[in-house]
Structure 1
Amino acid sequence: MTTVPAAQNDSNADDGFATMAIHAGQDPEALTGSVAVPIYQTSTYAQDQVGVLRAGYDYSRAGNPTRTALETALAALEGGRFGHAFSSGMAAADTALRAMLKPGEHLVIPNDAYGGTFRLIDKVLVPWGISYTAVPLSDLDAVQAAMTPATKLIWAETPTNPLLNIADIAGLAEIAHQSGAKLVVDNTFASPYLQQPLALGADVALHSTTKYLGGHSDVIGGALITSDQELGEAFGFHLKSMGGVAGPFDSWLTLRGVKTLAVRMDRHCDNAEAVADMLLSQKKVRKVYYPGIPEHPGHDIAAGQMLRFGGMVSFRVVGGQEEAVKICSRTRLFTLAESLGGIESLIEHPGLMTHASVAGSSLEVPDDLIRLSVGIEDIEDLLADLADALA
């Protein structure tokens, strides 16, 4: 089987972000002139002779033109050279970890990492022979102290899920590279519109494309982007060998979402800023987590490495878990559901939902914490809905 090379970013470097989101890897289709990238719903491709491929494709696990278009677009948006699209964000994370680590090696992770990432590392990779240390990545001294001769990877989220802590990407990259390690940044919460880790020194940007990149809560996917050719080739090999590829229809849906990422993210940020301000004035709210608040401990770093502060807001309430659960059940427009980054607003209780897997561990989240994915509805309606739920 011949492997199609990893999709490379060949877009015009002078193009703006929104222009690349619409055009990178998405030229009109040659045969008919179709402006939209076709859905190449096929598993295999005819060969003119044995081993002579018409466009580099022989089997859709190895490569598919719709997926290639998405991979090219994502690489362009992250300012990377190589992009790979996966069937889920966790498939992307698993591939990155297995391609970059081997048994006996060590990684550093956030002490408030996403529950699914923690579960993968703690329950799947530790039995495989990997070890890890969880530290607050906002504390560079703590990160430095956690590095060992066996450390080959720093795994970062910024902002983190669900406490919205901020890590200094450039600072983490310096620590990693001085120790001969690599830095992966899960850029899901920020999206490439708000933050580009590769430009700040990271080796890999990871996404759950299910979230802001897809943007419509109708597709599951993941992505890895890098400018390191060796890593790009390793990700491509593991993707083909392990098989967690994005299908053509899922790739098409994600690509459609990518086209409107810039305009959607501006509206998400507008609404989240207003929601955070409103929550600060509520008597039932004990604490608000949003990097756009000047008092947030990571505000200055976020302001330096992000375009804006994102669409995610978390807060703690008076009355503990019981009251938090009640508030989650009382909203009308904020739908009680897991996931995030869609056009509709969502509310959830991390301790009982997305982060239940860290219960009882050092990564356990507060039981009075509520997480909001602020959508793009009219802000007056969202504020009224939250006020009613908190009343």
Structure 2
Amino acid sequence: MKTPICYKYWDECVDSEDIQLMWNDAEVSKEWTDAGESFGQKVHLSRDPDGQTYLTQTEMRAVAKIVVDRHFKLQLDPDMLCALAEILSDRQLLAESYDKEQQETKIGIMQIAPATAEWLAREVGYREYEIEDVSLLYKPFVNVYFGAAYIKWLSDHDGIPRSEQYVVRAFKGGIKKVNHKSTIKYFDRYFSVKRSLPPKRTQTKYDGRNLTPDILSIDASTEVKEGIGWIYWESIVSDKDMDELWENPDVLKEWTKSGQRHGRVQFSRDSERRSHLSRVEVKAVAEIIVSRYFRGKVQPGSLAALAEICSLRFVYGLHSHTGLMGIDYPTALWMHRDLGFGAYEVNSVEDLFNPFVSMYFGAAYYSWLSEYQGRERSQEFVIQAYMGGPDNVNLQETGPFWKKFQEALGYYNERKRARWSCYIL
């Protein structure tokens, strides 16, 4: 198919919040300013000698970083998106290619087929954008979002962690051709491009006139000023769950000491501003979920230890693991629809970034594994199965997951107050 779409300005294919985030990138703002663009005015898209619109390397890196920070933090490397965009489309917004074998047209910067985007939204839970109109895939943030989602799915599909080479070759040629000689050249080129990308630089802010270390335009939205990603518990957690957290004496003590207040409780943030839970918070969430739904079936300390090794307590999760407990959307949806675990709704991947939702489905999966195939299973089996799949358990060898789990238990197995005494490990 040949698209009739023609973009001249960034503002025609990117919403105002994303434009502000682009200006907030020091390298982009310098590049745009040097090219004669002005903050608050329409920004021209670059064109190659053939008149095709494309993203510069600087713009591509900024888009990739924003998408990863917003939806895939700690799970994907933005440079992977940048290198793939280079070899797939030369960073052209309106690039199209027809795959004869699969009989589909791939479009945009990341060369995403409409059917792939629809499948990612419908089956894998990536629903930030509704693709009711195929033309939306030509928009850079939409296209890169689905490209990143596909990379994330490829990185651990069938429950098996995949190498970078596997992901790149599968992205280009499909899973069936991942070991075919026709895809090796794409990985070689990808690796060369990724290695040649300029080093990452410390970000500064743009105030609409000057580049400054910590100042944003006063016209920027609150979300932009506060950064990408959730900062406050209340932005994703229900009032009921927040009330129970405040009632937990250890959480109350920690939050009071750190100056938190009702209605505006901040997640802890590391040096790179990545949101995570404290161990006190993880333990409290586990205790609440177990007390409500899994009394006598799983111990809160075990769930907290799993959160430690799955995600290092990061809200978004870590690497191929989604959310606090590393439960992906298809697994959560299966447990919700087929196994009757319906206490929390799960309509998209975003729902699993809610610590309570992730903990609930983590506990559900733990409970299901404890009686896998109708047999009562040991905790070592459950932990190995939780981390690597029930068909990959080898109890003859003490694997790294079990060792890490035992170490993590040390953070959570201290004696609790009488309220939780029935769950002492």
TM-score of the two chains, using structure 1 as the length reference: 0.29
User: If the length of structure 2 is used for normalisation, what is the TM-score?
Assistant: 0.27
The structure that has the greater radius of gyration is 2
Compare the two structures and name the one with the higher helix fraction: 2
